[in-house]
Amino acid sequence: MHLSRQKFPFFYTLNPEWLFRIASEMGAKVVDNKMMLMPTDLAEGMGVFLEVMPGLSVFLIDMSFKKPVAIDRVPQDDQFIAYYDLGEEITTHVLGTTPHRAGYSSRLGMAFMDSCIPTSLLPPINARSYSLRLIISKDLLKSLARPNYPNSVTEQLFDSSQNTLYFYSHIDSRSKILLNQLKSRKIKDGSFEFHLKHTALYLLAYLIERAANFEPIINRVTDREGSAIKQSADYIMANLDKDFVGISLLAEMAGMSVSKYKLLFKKILKSTPKQFYINERLLLAQKLLQSPQFDSLSQVAYELGYNSPRYFINSYVNKFNTYPVLKNSK
Amino acid sequence: MKNISYRYGVNLDWLDELAAAFNCEVENGHVYCSNDTITGTLYGLQINEELSVFIQDAVYHTDVFYKMSNNDDDFVGVYFNLSEGDTVQITDNMQKAVGRWAYNVAVIDSVLSADYLIGSGSNVFSISIFIKKTAFLRSISSIPNFQEIRDVIFDADRNTLVRFERASNQAWFLMSELRKVNFGSTLYDTYLVGTVYGLIADYLDQIIDHDIVLGRVYQEDIVSIVSSQSQLIEKLKQPFPSIKVLASSVNMSDSKYKNLFKKVTGTSAKAFFMANKLDAAKEMLDTGSYSIAEVAHHFSFYDPSHFIEQFKARYDVTPKEYVTLY
């Protein structure tokens, strides 16, 4: 049977106006201008929207959908959106019965983008979705990020005719700790609203500190190009147990020239495709070391397609400054 | 000794008066001082029409006697104090020590005057939050036992609010995080306001969870428990001393000690010790110069896996994930 998704187009406003709009589309109830209670035939759970300070609002959802929906954010001009997903970041699962054929899928839990890039959220059915978004006015971000760059760079960085701010990554440790703490609290608690504001402000500060270390790449990105790069990163992450496919093939898959592909990849993922592959492979190795299914470092190395365990160990030490150790070695 | 009369309020118009009393310059809410009375920065920020914050990070070179008397009676002040040194607080003719492991959170109704002395040589770090009474009551009104709590914290006879308490671990953590941020950074206000909300949230959690018990605990018992806490903090690098040792050092039976510790702090002695140990271990990891095994050894964990297990239980990430993603 073909599953047709019910579509809900929307865009954010810094005040609760948008919340009322999307709630009435979905048949949800808005309480106190901030809580969105979902109709039980569509989803179980709720969303919380708060205005944190001028130029910054936060929206948290904790719900599990019962029907397939597509929540489409339509392009709009004056904001940035930072998105944090608290699902499992990397899931590993064995395919079939062959012990050495494993399929891995990995996800990047954080996205930051100009609101002129549309997104489509397709939440899983009957599984808990827990995610948080910061809605940041362009003026606020610009004033906070200004001292990180020379004036000439800031002007270009925030000039939307020349540049699109846009990146995907893993959630950094500090943010992850905050988000995990938030997730462990109950939305109905009297203190929750303050915890959420605290989290939102710290996430914003961490985000700006982190972005200050990124090399600014001034380039406009269309949403088609953006999603092609995202898909390309997903492809790399789904094939970490194989050799690196090579830039030319990746560029071809993304429908871009090699030079354009390299530039945009670096802009959005903050590393070259090859570095990204090496990095993700080592992060996956770190996860595999925790898993009981391996008896030796060589097994992990071969599982991830390294030709030599020694090379694997060297790369691991280079990245993490510590030797790989099997957690459950017998 | 220098006498300073001052007033507070949600509206920060008093900041100029305070600066003038110290002979210091004010610029955008920042008061920079460098004279023979104090050296350091005082900073006030109005967050919204119901909430503002005043932060002080300064060294006192002479005894300063503060005499507070407010013109506005529509707010509550919540004072968090991380000061070190000879700091004494006096209110209603009762002397109460303000210091790292004694009373360091005060909630005072603006209609009361509070006088206190800060001793020469004190290193003061304090965060004062001023919140309109209407907003304060609104924020606790969603708590299930709101009526009961309101009756306890607002003294029914005088309808005023005075509470002295200890900051929770979470509050300590929040304040020390803020302390790492440079005053001059453009992100300072973002961190500061974030910290204020975190402190309010944590304070509400305290009210909801356990603090209500405090009213029925005797003063001398609190002092014993607080001094025991301070002993534990000094011994973070060692394994947990037994309850027997801790109890006998404050002349209590084991069972009395355990009960009181829980009543006053909201956690068991062992959980309090572990939480502080892990916070300290996390700070050591932050320096980037030690391996996980070294940190585990430094804090006398049984072995690195024990450390990893405890770390993961408290922060939801393993030390390795914490270090590598940092």
Q: How confident is the model at residue B98 (pLDDT cuts 50, 70, 90)?
A: very low
Q: Please say if the pLDDT value at position A148 is more than 90.
A: no
Number of domains in chain A: 2
- Higher pLDDT among residues B232 and A136, named by residue: A136
Domain membership of residue A308 (yes or no) is yes
Q: Please say if the pLDDT value at position B158 is more than 60.
A: no
Domain membership of residue A10 (yes or no) is yes
Whether A247 and A143 map to the same domain: the answer is no
- Higher pLDDT among residues A302 and B154, named by residue: A302
Q: What pLDDT does residue B213 have?
A: 45
Q: Please say if the pLDDT value at position A38 is more than 90.
A: yes
What's the token pair of residue A2?
């073909």
Q: What is the mean pLDDT of residues B153-180?
A: 70
Q: Please say if the pLDDT value at position A83 is more than 90.
A: yes
Q: Please say if the pLDDT value at position B94 is more than 50.
A: no
Q: What pLDDT does residue B215 have?
A: 45
Domain membership of residue A236 (yes or no) is no
Residue % of chain B over a pLDDT of 70: 79
Is B217 in CB contact (< 8 Å) with chain A?
Answer: no
- Higher pLDDT among residues A258 and B225, named by residue: A258
Is residue B41 within a helix (H) or strand (E), and if so which, with residue range?
Answer: strand B38-48
Q: What pLDDT does residue B197 have?
A: 95
Whether A112 and A257 map to the same domain: the answer is no
Strands B25-27 and A128-137, by their bridges, are unpaired
Global confidence as pTM: 0.78
Can you give the CATH number for the domain in which A251 is found? 1.10.10.60
Q: What is the mean pLDDT of residues B153-175?
A: 66
d(CA A77, CA A117): 9
A19-30 burial: b if 16+ Cβ within 10 Å, else e: beebbeebebeb
Q: Please say if the pLDDT value at position B58 is more than 70.
A: yes
Q: What is the CATH number of domain B2-211?
A: 2.60.120.10
d(CA A102, CA A304): 9
Q: Let me know how many helices (H) and strands (E) chain A has, helices first.
A: 11, 13
What would the pLDDT profile of B174-230 be if each residue is shown by its tens digit? Answer: 888 898 898 888 899 999 999 999 999 988 887 776 544 444 456 567 667 777 877
* E strand spans, A26-127: 29-31, 35-37, 43-53, 56-65, 69-73, 79-85, 90-94, 102-106, 110-114, 119-121
Q: How far is B114 from chain A (nearest CA, A)?
A: 28
Q: What pLDDT does residue B113 have?
A: 66
**Domain assignment of residue A290, given as a range:** 241-320
Please report residues of A whose CB lies closer than 8 A to that of B200.
Answer: 191, 194
Q: What pLDDT does residue B145 have?
A: 67
**Which option is the CATH number for B219-325: 4.10.93.10, 1.10.760.10, 3.40.1790.10, 1.10.10.60?**
1.10.10.60
Whether A309 and A204 map to the same domain: the answer is no
Please report residues of B whose CB lies closer than 8 A to that of A171.
Answer: 325
Please report residues of B whose CB lies closer than 8 A to that of A322.
Answer: 291-292, 320
Q: What pLDDT does residue A155 have?
A: 84
Least confident of A9-23, A205-219, B299-313: A205-219
Closest chain B residue to A284, measured at CA = B321
What would the pLDDT profile of B130-156 be if each residue is shown by its tens digit? Answer: 999 888 888 777 766 677 666 665 654
Whether A87 and A166 map to the same domain: the answer is yes
Q: Kindly write down the DSSP assignment for every residue of A237-293, as one continuous string.
A: HHTTTS----HHHHHHHHTS-HHHHHHHHHHHHSS-HHHHHHHHHHHHHHHHHTSTT
Q: Please say if the pLDDT value at position B167 is more than 80.
A: no
Please report residues of A whose CB lies closer than 8 A to that of B317.
Answer: 173, 176-177, 180
Q: What is the mean pLDDT of residues A68-91?
A: 82
Contact A180 B315 (CB under 8 A): yes
Q: Where in chain B is the domain with CATH 2.60.120.10?
A: 2-211
Domain membership of residue A187 (yes or no) is yes
Is A176 in CB contact (< 8 Å) with chain B?
Answer: yes
- Higher pLDDT among residues B203 and B45, named by residue: B45
Domain membership of residue A1 (yes or no) is no
Domain membership of residue A216 (yes or no) is no
Q: How far is B256 from chain A (nearest CA, A)?
A: 31
What would the pLDDT profile of B11-39 be if each residue is shown by its tens digit? Answer: 998 999 888 888 888 888 889 888 888 89
Q: Please say if the pLDDT value at position B52 is more than 90.
A: yes
- Higher pLDDT among residues B138 and A28, named by residue: A28
Contact A208 B47 (CB under 8 A): no
Closest chain A residue to B195, measured at CA = A198
Is B287 in CB contact (< 8 Å) with chain A?
Answer: no
